[in-house]
Copies of this chain bind each other. A is one copy, B any other.
Amino acid sequence: MEKDISQAVIRRMPRYYRYLGDLLDAGVERISSNDLSKKMHVTASQIRQDLNNFGGFGQQGYGYNVKYLYDEIGKILGLTETHNMIVVGVGNLGQAVTNYVKFDKLGFKIIGLFDSNPEKEGQDVRGMKIMMMEDLPKFVKENKVDIAALTLPRAYAEKTARDLVNLGITSIWNFAHVDLDDIDGIVVENVHLSDSLMRLSYNALNNKNI
């Protein structure tokens, strides 16, 4: 039973990962928390605190080895294994998500598209045939599904999420504009585009550069 790491820290980890990846591409071998802090506009103290939640990856007098730290953060974030995903709700957003995931070079892989509209059955999207929701239980038995992207209208989102969790798919990438946190055993990551737009609107109005 390890100590719980705060979501504030988790939110920052992908950003470290990105900067370290860039340094790696640039051929940089080592970096100190101080130099990294200048690039990222955060304090060196925060970088060291954040990393030390997961272990001592640095070395006194040397700093951090870029490649090593990059790989370690990758492990922490679970990027060493492939994650099989399905997309539930194959409208425009669902198709964009499908495409996005396909082209991003992280280890996420779309293995099935599902919709409840019979007219879409068998339609081809990026080389995959759309399946019907009623085919999902069988599909889950025959395939390892790690994550479901929920890209359907909010009216159907909660019921569908419950069904998914009951089928054993507990990790939901939620694009529907509802909160799903009530559902027992669920792990949700929300992408609420309209919330994001509203914040932009507010900050634009008030001229906030965050």
Contact = CB atoms under 8 A, between A and B. Distances in A.
A122 interface: no
Copies in the complex: 2
A69 to B, nearest CB: 15
B99 A92 contact: yes
Q: Which of A13, A41, A181, A196 has the most CB of B within 10 A?
A: A196
Contacts of A187: 200, 203-204, 207-210
B11 A194 contact: no
Interface in A4-38: 7, 10-11, 13-15, 17-18
Contacts of A147: 200-201, 204
B173 A14 contact: no
A93 interface: yes
Interface string A61-86: 00000000000000011110001000
A105 to B, nearest CB: 9
Interface string A153-196: 00000000000000000110100010101000111110111111
Contacts of A50: none
Interface string A38-76: 000100000000000000000000000000000000001
19 contacts: A17-B198, A18-B177, A77-B198, A78-B204, A78-B205, A93-B99, A95-B96, A96-B96, A104-B194, A104-B197, A106-B197, A146-B204, A173-B197, A173-B200, A187-B204, A187-B207, A187-B208, A188-B210, A191-B193
